[in-house]
Structure 1
């Protein structure tokens, strides 16, 4: 599991000629890093100087820490879901009955595999929202990490969307395809716009 291995071991597996982990897991770890950066900036925005914002910062720290855990869980979930797709394609198809069962298993696995990145886009949006809240009260010495968090969350969302797309095109259930496309397209656009806006504000604050 990604959550229990070293960075070195994870990267070695990611670089290997193996189907998992792949882009979906990488996207989830983008989001985990984004949330961790928000938590770090928030922790640097505590003490007497920031006392008037203590409740906000405390809430952001708690929420960001939780999002780190959830993002890593999604990394493991994505790896498991994609392995399910691979296993479904390996099912026997020697008879009409087996072919039908294999086809149904593949469709179920593809829909499941598309759900994890859909959840990840939601999580990425939550990270950008937290970073945006933190921006106004953040310690100026680490304000660049607010932009780093936004960009990492943006990467998580756009990568997750690509992973949804590659599964959706193989899903034959038109209703399921349309539902996934409708839910994730608008969310991804929202995350991108919010992240870009926040990065711009951070750069303007740095450069004066």
Structure 2
């Protein structure tokens, strides 16, 4: 996926194939959000921002790491969803086959829920970095901080439904509880994003 052109990826996304789908798209939202923060950090350099150099450099490093992590999650999501499709295609003629298929589906669904849950965590990390960068970032690119936060919110809200759709077939209560704890952070991400965007809009309206 990381070596595809944008056009090729969108062609695959639009095709009648199991993956990539919404989960991979959510991860790519997170990757774009992190990339935007990296760009703002790189514009926040020089003597004017020297007092914030250490913080800005940390944000640059962490946003680059988050971008790579989110791209990996996009690839993992596509692979995990393909595994779910494969599990549903297993034979179910005998009782033994039915039992094996049911177990395989439950295992695959748990695996498919993991990448979007990790996307939510990545989105929260992006929003936290955006909050730190907002008051010290180069004002000429302040709108990109809002864009990053909004992309992170899109990542989180999209990832949440991709976690929830897989919960139906997950039998392990501990796994379910852990995934639900991840999705519970999405409303917080949305609220914090709204604050960031409101602050940016207020700033550009001055």
1:186 corresponds to: 184
1:160 matched to 2:168? The reply is: no
1:195 matched to 2:193? The reply is: yes
* CA RMSD across the alignment: 1.0
CA separation in 1, counterparts of 2:198 and 2:21?
30
Q: How many corresponding residue pairs?
A: 206
TM-score scaled by length of structure 2: 0.97
Give the conservation status (yes or no) of the 8 Å contact 2:120–2:183: no
1:110 matched to 2:94? The reply is: no
Tell me how far 1:175 sits from its aligned partner: 4.2
CA separation in 1, counterparts of 2:83 and 2:128?
32
CA separation in 2, counterparts of 1:103 and 1:170?
9
2:100 corresponds to: 101
1:23 corresponds to: 22
Tell me how far 1:96 sits from its aligned partner: 1.1
Task: Could you list the structure 1 runs, at least 4 aligned residues long, displaced by more than 6 angstroms after superposition.
Answer: none
Aligned pairs for 1:2-17 (under 5 A) are 2-17=1-16
CA separation in 1, counterparts of 2:170 and 2:127?
30
Q: Deviations over 1:89-134 (max 9, x none)?
A: 0111121111111100000000111111111100000001011100
CA separation in 2, counterparts of 1:155 and 1:80?
21
SS at match of 2:123: helix
**Which 5+ residue runs of structure 1 have no aligned equivalent?**
none
TM-score scaled by length of structure 1: 0.96
CA separation in 2, counterparts of 1:134 and 1:122?
19
Give the conservation status (yes or no) of the 8 Å contact 2:117–2:183: no
**12-21 or 151-160, which moves further after superposition?**
12-21
CA separation in 2, counterparts of 1:175 and 1:129?
28
